[in-house]
Amino acid sequence: MDTFIQLTIDALTLGSVYALIALGYTLVYGVLKLLNFAHGDVFMVGTFIGYGVLQLLGGAESPNVPVWALIPIITVAAMAGCAILGVVIERFAYRPLRDAPRIAPLISALGVSFFLANSMQLLFGATPRTYNAFDLGNGELYFKGFDIGNVRVPLLRIITIGSAFVLMIALYLLVNKTRTGKAMRATSYDREAAAMMGIDIDKVIRFTFILGSALAGAAGVMFALRVPTTAAIGFVAGLKGFTAAVIGGIGSIPGAMAGGLILGFAESYTQGYISTKWSDLVVFSILIAFMIFRPQGLLGRADIRKV
Amino acid sequence: MKKGISLLVVLVATAVVAASAQANHQTSASAAKGFSCKSTFTLPFVTPLTGGAAFLGQEQMSWASYAVKTLAPKLGLKVKLVGGDTPVEQGATPAQDLAQKYVGDKSVYAILGPSTSGAVAASSATYFAAGIAHLSPSATRTDLTKTVAGVKEGTPAFFRDVPGDYIQGPSDANYMIKTLHVKKVVIMDFQEPYSLGLADSVQSVLNAAGVTTIRLSAPNTTTDYSAFVTKVPSDANIVFFPTQKPADAQTFAQQLLEQGKQAKVFGGDGSNDSTQFKVPGSYVSNFAPDITGIAADKALVAGWQKANPGKPVGSFGPPSYGAAQILLNAIHLACVADHGVLKSRRDVLRKVKQVSIKNWILGGTFKWSTKSNDPLNAKFYIFQIQSDGSYKLVG
């Protein structure tokens, strides 16, 4: 039972980070019908922004601000930095290609991905950067928390899972309960019709990139609080986020959340109960199964065309 | 229109054939003339310069670069060091592609690296066929130089200046048995040649001594080890963690503490980095001692630090300096024997094992084993991480 509880905590931690990344893919796809393959690298930049701000604030061993304020500060900084990056990417890499064949922005996205990964490596080197969250408050993020049976749920995991769910709920409310969200949904359904109704499409797309990239920034900090980061992590993180988005139904916000969690649970339980060797095999088999039997994903809309 | 296209195809084909004939003629002429030792040699260093193990490649490059800069002029050689990137996450393909590229470059007479065992296994046959000596400062898998269960993945053109896992594995396992008195050990591998070889080697010695072992295997791209830590039994004494990414060893050790597990992490040479792996009580083994403690290396270390301000002296760099030193000497010996014009790449290959170096960077004198392309009398060192993060030699 302890193993099950521990694996479930692992799955929720992992899945919530995947879900936040997947939301970025799904938001952009929903509005632009573009697979933003640079999104994993925006996530990676988020981890570095968080690291940089943490160092500016004195580092984990002797921070200049209380621990309770430190994590929100670095998270907001990473979200803001990634939001700006997202706007820049959209403006210079995607907007000029908006009316080009769909392969063009896809190739541009891959180019941006390589550009970001290699630039970060040139700028900051290849040595993994670690937040040393273990040293924050003498390890209180790791050792404080609450117990379920014999299993400790550390504060850091509570923060990660809790923050991710708060962000996901906020996003859901924003998209479904605000005027801006309504404009996003309208653009997603039919861009031309939305424009004819007076919606500023450029503004909506820019806002979508701000949202998606900010979520990637938050995910980056939550991820890097626990594991080291390098300029190379964007690829795998992006791949997992993309898989989660496809499983959940690309374009569907609840789908991306569900997809992320499914991926987290699949990975964690496979490692725990089947074999540690098989986790990627199982994860990508689920992706293939969805592509074959339910290509629109768990909560996505089937693309019905009249002939 | 069709006639026009046909004419164009014929013209292009003719141009390709003519260019190819010209290239063949040039290659034959060049081979006949040989390669002047006054020309600039290209010395590629095949190592991970990007990806999760890039810290290793970049440290190695900095030391090889220092060796080329300081030693080549003394030997009367002009050498251009170039990096060939083999990210560990991309498997064998980059090493194979680079091997094809360097075989085709007539200024390449030797290769530094490949740094990782997987890259050696993937490219050694190509280098051997071209007669190119390749010397690794960090590929330790046993079957690169010795036959294991009927398999030998390295060729006679492959050398290494550090001891193999046939020394590291038993040395680590024996330390666990005799000094740490372990009863239960979890052994990780990362589904790539380096860790598989080392994990197998440690496991077989532990099992032979009656120690209970549990094997876990993680994809090489794993970043979060929580689920693996969950599988570590509470009564395990050690987790053998032969990663090539020291930061991952740090993460694993911290996650063990997070889950209240008692086991200590024991890393191989790939996790030997005091700036990244510093959880007190953990162990690491390495093929090189801390050279800052070797009196004869004082000037060398000072020179490298001047050329690389602010960078720490790690354990992967010094053997790379040594590897460059051996290859430069082999090229020099071949140039002397061939009277300044190298006839063949094999001339350099034949000279590699004739190189012996006094005041070897890792201490003592460097000599080759007569039985394999390994260094003679090399050993592994075991360190324990102290509460201040320093590495203390314990075995």
Greater model confidence, B194 or B10: B194
Minimum Cα–Cα distance from A120: chain B residue? B50
CB contact under 8 A, A276 and B230: no
Q: State yes or no: pLDDT of A76 exceeds 90.
A: yes
User: Cα(B203)–Cα(B211) distance, rounded to whole angstroms?
Assistant: 9
pLDDT band at A272 (very low <50, low <70, confident <90, very high): confident
Pair A170, A214: CB distance under 8 Å: no
Give the alpha-carbon dihedral of A218, A219, A220, A224, to 10 degrees: 110
CB contact under 8 A, B250 and A228: yes
pLDDT at position A302 is: 66
pLDDT at position B343 is: 92
Going by C-alpha positions, the residue among A144, A156, A129 that lies closest to residue A46 is A129
B50 vs A contacts (CB less than 8 Å): 118, 121, 126, 231-232
pLDDT at position B8 is: 47
Output helix, strand, coil percentages for chain B, rounded to the nearest 5.
45, 15, 35
DSSP B269-326: GGG--TTT---TT-EEEESS--GGG-GGGHHHHHHHHHHSTT----SSHHHHHHHHHH
Q: How far is A161 from chain B (nearest CA, A)?
A: 15
pLDDT band at B6 (very low <50, low <70, confident <90, very high): low
pLDDT at position A307 is: 61
Q: State yes or no: pLDDT of B13 exceeds 80.
A: no
pLDDT band at B32 (very low <50, low <70, confident <90, very high): very low
Q: State yes or no: pLDDT of B23 exceeds 50.
A: no
Q: How far is A173 from chain B (nearest CA, A)?
A: 31
pLDDT at position B17 is: 45
In the predicted model, what is the mean pLDDT of residues A239-262?
A: 92
Per residue, the 3-state secondary structure of chain A, as one string, reads CHHHHHHHHHHHHHHHHHHHHHHHHHHHHHHHCCCCCCHHHHHHHHHHHHHHHHHHCCCCCCCCCCHHHHHHHHHHHHHHHHHHHHHHHHHHHHHHHCCCCCHHHHHHHHHHHHHHHHHHHHHHCCCCECCCHHHHHHHHHHHCEEEECCEEEEHHHHHHHHHHHHHHHHHHHHHHHCHHHHHHHHHHHCHHHHHHCCCCHHHHHHHHHHHHHHHHHHHHHHHHCCCCECCCHHHHHHHHHHHHHHHHCCCCHHHHHHHHHHHHHHHHHHHHHHCHHHHHHHHHHHHHHHHHHCCCCCCCCCCCCCC
pLDDT band at A134 (very low <50, low <70, confident <90, very high): confident
In the predicted model, what is the mean pLDDT of residues A109-133?
A: 88
B214 vs A contacts (CB less than 8 Å): none
CB contact under 8 A, A276 and B276: no
In the predicted model, what is the mean pLDDT of residues A62-75?
A: 90
Q: State yes or no: pLDDT of A289 exceeds 80.
A: yes
Where is average pLDDT lowest: A70-79, A82-91, B238-247?
B238-247
Q: State yes or no: pLDDT of A294 exceeds 60.
A: yes
Q: State yes or no: pLDDT of B35 exceeds 90.
A: yes
pLDDT in tens, A148-191: 888 888 888 999 999 999 999 999 999 999 999 999 999 988 88
Q: What is the pTM of this model?
A: 0.73
Greater model confidence, B132 or A31: B132
pLDDT band at B14 (very low <50, low <70, confident <90, very high): low
pLDDT in tens, B189-214: 988 877 888 899 899 999 999 999 99
- A residues 68..107 contacting B (CB < 8 A): none
pLDDT at position B29 is: 40
CB contact under 8 A, B217 and A7: no
Q: Which residues contact B215 (CB under 8 A, 6 or more apart)?
A: B186, B187, B188, B189, B199, B203
Report percent pLDDT > 70 for chain B.
91
pLDDT at position A234 is: 92
pLDDT at position A288 is: 93
pLDDT at position A304 is: 61
CB contact under 8 A, A3 and B250: no
User: Cα(A7)–Cα(A103) distance, rounded to whole angstroms?
Assistant: 40
Amino acid code (one letter) for A17: V
Q: State yes or no: pLDDT of B28 exceeds 90.
A: no
pLDDT at position B232 is: 93
pLDDT at position A230 is: 87
pLDDT band at A275 (very low <50, low <70, confident <90, very high): confident
Tokens matching residue A22: 């997947």
Greater model confidence, B394 or B13: B394
Q: State yes or no: pLDDT of B26 exceeds 50.
A: no
In the predicted model, what is the mean pLDDT of residues B171-184?
A: 95
pLDDT at position B4 is: 53
Q: State yes or no: pLDDT of A68 exceeds 90.
A: no
Going by C-alpha positions, the residue among B141, B147, B236, B136 that lies closest to residue B192 is B141
Q: State yes or no: pLDDT of A103 exceeds 70.
A: yes
Q: State yes or no: pLDDT of B382 exceeds 80.
A: yes
User: Cα(B300)–Cα(B298) distance, rounded to whole angstroms?
Assistant: 5
User: Cα(B72)–Cα(B324) distance, rounded to whole angstroms?
Assistant: 9
In the predicted model, what is the mean pLDDT of residues B173-177?
A: 96
Q: Which residues contact B150 (CB under 8 A, 6 or more apart)?
A: none
pLDDT in tens, B141-169: 888 999 888 888 999 999 999 988 888 89
Q: State yes or no: pLDDT of B216 exceeds 60.
A: yes
User: Cα(A95)–Cα(A206) distance, rounded to whole angstroms?
Assistant: 10
Q: Mutation test of the interface with chain A: which of B226, B228, B232, choosing the one with the most A Cβ atoms within 10 A?
A: B226
pLDDT at position B242 is: 92
CB contact under 8 A, A276 and B221: no
Domains of chain B, each with CATH number or no CATH: 36-163+293-352 (3.40.50.2300), 166-286+381-393 (3.40.50.2300)
Q: How far is B276 from chain A (nearest CA, A)?
A: 8
CB contact under 8 A, B57 and A126: yes
Amino acid code (one letter) for A224: A
Pair A56, A78: CB distance under 8 Å: no
On whether any CB of chain B is under 8 Å from the CB of A141, the answer is no
Q: State yes or no: pLDDT of B31 exceeds 50.
A: no
Pair A38, A116: CB distance under 8 Å: yes
pLDDT at position B22 is: 47
Amino acid code (one letter) for A270: T
CA separation, residue A83 to residues A78, A213, B200 (Å): 8, 5, 47
In the predicted model, what is the mean pLDDT of residues B81-96?
A: 88
A267 vs B contacts (CB less than 8 Å): 227
Strand partners, A23: none
Greater model confidence, B377 or A28: A28
B54 vs A contacts (CB less than 8 Å): 121, 125-127, 230, 232
Q: State yes or no: pLDDT of A85 exceeds 70.
A: yes
